[in-house]
Structure 1
Amino acid sequence: MAADNIDDVVDGLAAIVRDARRDGDRVGYFAALYRQVTVEVRAAIHAGLFDDGPRMDRFDTLFGNRYFDAHDAWRRDRGGPRCWREAFGRLDDPETVIVQHLVLGVSAHINLDLAVAAARTAPGAAVHGLRRDFLLINDILARVVLAVQRSVGAVSPYLGLLDELGGRGDEHVLDFGIRRSREEAWHNALVLAGQDTAAQEATIDLLDVRAAVLARLIARPGGLLRPALELIRRTESQDVPEVIAHLDRAVAPTG
């Protein structure tokens, strides 16, 4: 599908979530998180919180279409960007736990798509004017990720126990990791905004390769994370439609 505005992005994500619940498809895990982030961004646009609301609508639409294109390419012929192929390729893997599916989607979208969407929303020197609104999304994303992480704990008891034992430390680490990835995406957007089409394509390809390597590390981590993930897998819900429904109501609707 192709979205023309942020309302189309919300509707498209809602359709993916709805179909995933019907089919028991784990693609709905990240789509549920992403839908809620987009709803919150739309609410912030309507509330006038951004310096340029129409520009943020265009930005979010370009960002959303990157995800829809990757999703459609995977469904069509297992194609699309490398990092998204890594993420989608784990959907039927019984060893990949809920939180890994979420992180794989977040990682691909931030480490590849975000810089591309920012540079195409504000090419050339205009990209510098996007900075404040770009940073404001960090706060929205962190709030939604925190709510969804708490929601995951209800369907993944061992992960919930780790959260309780660790207090909010792990949530701060996750928040910091997202912010640091977004900061890197901002620097990549500055590079892309100053390049011609051919140079952009070469840079995007390099970003995709790097994001794909990171995806493989997320999917198959080493060290002490491996036995911890096995315990998480054994205790978390395998009812995919119910997990999707649970994740999709982690954040109360605001717009």
Structure 2
Amino acid sequence: MAAQNIDEVVDGLAGIVRDATRARDRIGYFAALYRQVTVEIRTAIHEGRFEDGARMDRFDTHFGNRYFEAYDAWRRDGSGPRCWRETFGLLDDSDTVIVQHLVLGVNAHINLDLAVAAARTSPGAEIQSLRSDFLLINDILARVVLAVQDSVDALSPLMSLLDKVGGRADERILDFSVRQSRAEAWYNAVLLAGQSETERAATIDRLDVRAAVLARLIARPNGLVRPALELIRRTENHDVPTVVTHLDNAMARTSAR
């Protein structure tokens, strides 16, 4: 699928969520999170919160299409960027807990796709004019992450274990690519925007390799986190349609409070 605007990105993600719910497919976990982020960005565009709403529509469309391209490649023949292959390859792994699926998707989409989409939206010197709107998305992401974290806590009651053994709160695990990785993505976007086609291809390949390495660390962490994740897995909700639906309604529950 290829979206032409942000409305089509939202519709495409909603379709993936629906299909995943019917097929009991964990691919719907990240798609549900991503759909809510995109809806919030669309709302911010309509409310005039960005300096250039039309540009943000284009940016979000480029960003969404990176995900759709990876999704289609994986469904077609298991191909696509390395980091997405690592992410999608764990969908049938029963040892991977809900939060890991979410963070794996965030890692691939932000540590690889975000910089590529930003540079494509505003190539060359134009990239600097995108910075303010790029940073505004951080606030939107933070709101969605908090809402989704409430859902994860409800679905996975022992997530607080990661606070004790991992040295950081569980919401920090979800947030790692929302803060630190977005800062790195901006640096890489500026780099890509000023590069030649050959240089850009090499940079994208490097980003993909790095994100793939991070995906492996997320999937198979060391130390005390691994046994903690095993305990979490035993007690969390394993009904995929229920989990997808709960995650997909996180912002709606927040708004209803």
TM-score (norm 1): 0.95
* Structure 1 residues 190 and 243, CA gap change in structure 2 (3 angstroms): same
Task: Give the C-alpha shift of residue 157 in structure 1.
Answer: 1.2
* Structure 1 residues 143 and 76, CA gap change in structure 2 (3 angstroms): same
Task: Give the C-alpha shift of residue 171 in structure 1.
Answer: 2.8
Aligned to 2:238: 238
Q: Distance in 2 between matches of 1:169 and 1:229?
A: 14
Q: Distance in 2 between matches of 1:247 and 1:107?
A: 18
- CA deviations 1:71-102 (Å, max 9, x no partner) are 00000000000000000000000100000000
Q: Distance in 2 between matches of 1:245 and 1:115?
A: 30
Q: Quick one: which amino acid aligns to residue 206 of structure 1?
A: R
- CA deviations 1:230-251 (Å, max 9, x no partner) are 0010001110001000000000
Q: What SS class does the counterpart of residue 214 from structure 1 fall into?
A: helix
Task: Give the C-alpha shift of residue 164 in structure 1.
Answer: 11
Q: Distance in 2 between matches of 1:87 and 1:30?
A: 10
Task: Give the C-alpha shift of residue 156 in structure 1.
Answer: 0.9
Instruction: Give runs of aligned pairs for residues 48-197 of structure 1, distance below 5 A.
Output: 48-159=48-159, 169-172=169-172, 174-175=174-175, 177-197=177-197
* Structure 1 residues 76 and 9, CA gap change in structure 2 (3 angstroms): same
Q: How many residues align?
A: 253
Q: Which runs of 4+ in 1 moved over 4 A?
A: 160-166
Q: Quick one: which amino acid aligns to residue 63 of structure 2?
A: F
Q: Distance in 2 between matches of 1:210 and 1:34?
A: 22
**C-alpha contact 1:40 1:140 (8 A) present in aligned 2:** yes
**C-alpha contact 1:146 1:171 (8 A) present in aligned 2:** yes
**C-alpha contact 1:120 1:193 (8 A) present in aligned 2:** yes
TM-score (norm 2): 0.94
Q: Distance in 1 between matches of 2:172 and 2:29?
A: 22
Q: Quick one: which amino acid aligns to residue 59 of structure 1?
A: F
Instruction: Give runs of aligned pairs for residues 28-43 of structure 1, distance below 5 A.
Output: 28-43=28-43
Q: Quick one: which amino acid aligns to residue 48 of structure 1?
A: G
Q: Distance in 2 between matches of 1:165 and 1:194?
A: 42
Q: Distance in 2 between matches of 1:98 and 1:243?
A: 8
Q: Quick one: which amino acid aligns to residue 130 of structure 1?
A: L
Aligned to 1:27: 27
Q: Distance in 1 between matches of 2:252 and 2:123?
A: 35
**C-alpha contact 1:20 1:28 (8 A) present in aligned 2:** yes
Task: Give the C-alpha shift of residue 142 in structure 1.
Answer: 1.0
Question: Identity rate of aligned residues, in percent?
Answer: 74
Q: What SS class does the counterpart of residue 93 from structure 2 fall into?
A: coil
- CA deviations 1:170-191 (Å, max 9, x no partner) are 4356536521100000000010
Q: Distance in 2 between matches of 1:215 and 1:48?
A: 36
* Structure 1 residues 176 and 109, CA gap change in structure 2 (3 angstroms): closer
- CA deviations 1:104-127 (Å, max 9, x no partner) are 000000000000000000000000
Q: Quick one: which amino acid aligns to residue 37 of structure 2?
A: V
- CA deviations 1:178-235 (Å, max 9, x no partner) are 2110000000001000011111111100100000000000000010100010001000
Unaligned runs of 5+ in 1: none
Aligned to 2:214: 214
* Structure 1 residues 170 and 100, CA gap change in structure 2 (3 angstroms): closer
- CA deviations 1:35-57 (Å, max 9, x no partner) are 00000000000000000000000
* Structure 1 residues 177 and 201, CA gap change in structure 2 (3 angstroms): closer
Q: Distance in 2 between matches of 1:137 and 1:115?
A: 14
Most deviating of 142-151 and 81-90: 142-151
* Structure 1 residues 59 and 7, CA gap change in structure 2 (3 angstroms): same
